[in-house]
């Protein structure tokens, strides 16, 4: 039985949001992040190398929990099911995407940013949602406000989250984890500086652990 998105995200101090341009970077990048304590990886379908990168990570980095990001339609959802992605993330949601998630059984983290979007997803049975784009939509204060009328919903905020504002997000009661690209900067990936990426991942892992200990 596949893990639910809640079970997957609860294992993630931070979810790295990755845009992989060169398929040869996929495995060393995933290994560097796992070495720094970040096992749950979101590889976005925004580059030509994305699909093969996901396949290679699934095959060669068994400690990673490998998901696809920027999954925006049924066709992509079906393809992610075929290649056995552990989960899928979308910046939003549509009827077609939700139907494909149900049909394929791939755990989906659908995106929402407003009360109406959240209510629509609750109607479809989703109570763990991506809050996107987090900073641009009001960030921590918006999540606090949404937690009043909609306390049953748990969010993974993504978009503008970094080490600088991580503490404010982690302190919220309606957060399961956060997503962000800061743990895998493009220049470090391009340079193959895997040690730097492990260091950034470990820094995020340690910070979240310290914040959760209080």
The one segment of 7-15, 153-161, 167-175, 192-200 that binds ligand 3PG by CB under 6 A: 153-161
Does residue number 113 form part of the binding site for ligand 3PG (CB under 6 A)? no
Distance, in Å, from the CA atom of 16 to the CA atom of 43, rounded to the nearest integer, reads 8
Does residue number 185 form part of the binding site for ligand 3PG (CB under 6 A)? no
Positions 46 through 105 that interact with ligand 3PG (CB under 6 A): none
CB of 128 to ligand 3PG, least distance (A): 16
- Of 92, 147, 160, 185, which one interacts with ligand 3PG (CB under 6 A)? 160
Select 47 or 181, whichever has its Cβ closest to ligand 3PG: 181
How far out from the chain centre does Cα 99 lie?
A: 20
Does residue number 37 form part of the binding site for ligand 3PG (CB under 6 A)? no
Which residues, in sequence order, are CB contacts of 210 under 8 Å at separation 6+?
A: none
* Residue closest to 60 by CA, chosen among 29, 18, 38: 29
- Of 53, 90, 104, 158, which one interacts with ligand 3PG (CB under 6 A)? 158
The one segment of 6-14, 56-64, 157-165, 187-195 that binds ligand 3PG by CB under 6 A: 157-165
CB of 178 to ligand 3PG, least distance (A): 9
Q: What are phi and psi of 20, to 5 degrees?
A: -100, 115
Q: Where in the sequence numbering do the catalytic residues fall?
A: 42, 130
The arrangement of strands across the sheet holding 15-18 comes to: 108-109, 87-89, 65-69, 40-44, 15-18, 179-180
Residue pair 118/97 in contact (Cβ under 8 Å)? The answer is: no
Q: 């940013």: which residue's tokens?
A: 113
Q: Which residues form the interface with ligand 3PG (CB under 6 A)?
A: 17, 132-133, 158-161, 180-182
């Amino acid at each position: 039985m596949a893990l639910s998105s809640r079970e997957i995200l609860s294992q993630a101090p931070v979810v790295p949001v990755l845009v992989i341009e060169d398929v040869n970077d996929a495995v060393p990048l995933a290994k560097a992040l796992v070495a720094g304590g970040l096992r749950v990886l979101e590889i976005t379908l925004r580059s030509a190398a994305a699909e093969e990168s996901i396949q290679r990570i699934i095959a060669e980095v068994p400690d990673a929990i490998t998901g696809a990001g920027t999954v925006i339609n049924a066709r992509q959802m079906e393809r992610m099911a075929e290649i056995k992605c552990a989960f899928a993330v979308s910046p939003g949601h549509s009827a077609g995407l939700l139907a494909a998630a149900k049909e394929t059984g791939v755990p989906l983290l659908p995106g929402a940013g407003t009360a109406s979007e959240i209510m629509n997803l609750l109607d479809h049975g989703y109570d763990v949602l991506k809050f996107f784009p987090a900073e641009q939509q009001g960030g921590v204060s918006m999540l606090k406000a949404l937690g009043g009328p909609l306390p049953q919903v748990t969010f993974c905020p993504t978009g503008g989250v970094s080490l600088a504002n991580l503490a404010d997000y982690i302190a919220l009661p309606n957060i399961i984890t956060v997503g962000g690209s800061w743990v895998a900067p493009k220049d470090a990936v391009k340079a193959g500086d895997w040690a730097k990426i492990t260091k950034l991942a470990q820094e995020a892992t340690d910070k979240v652990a310290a914040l959760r200990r209080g």
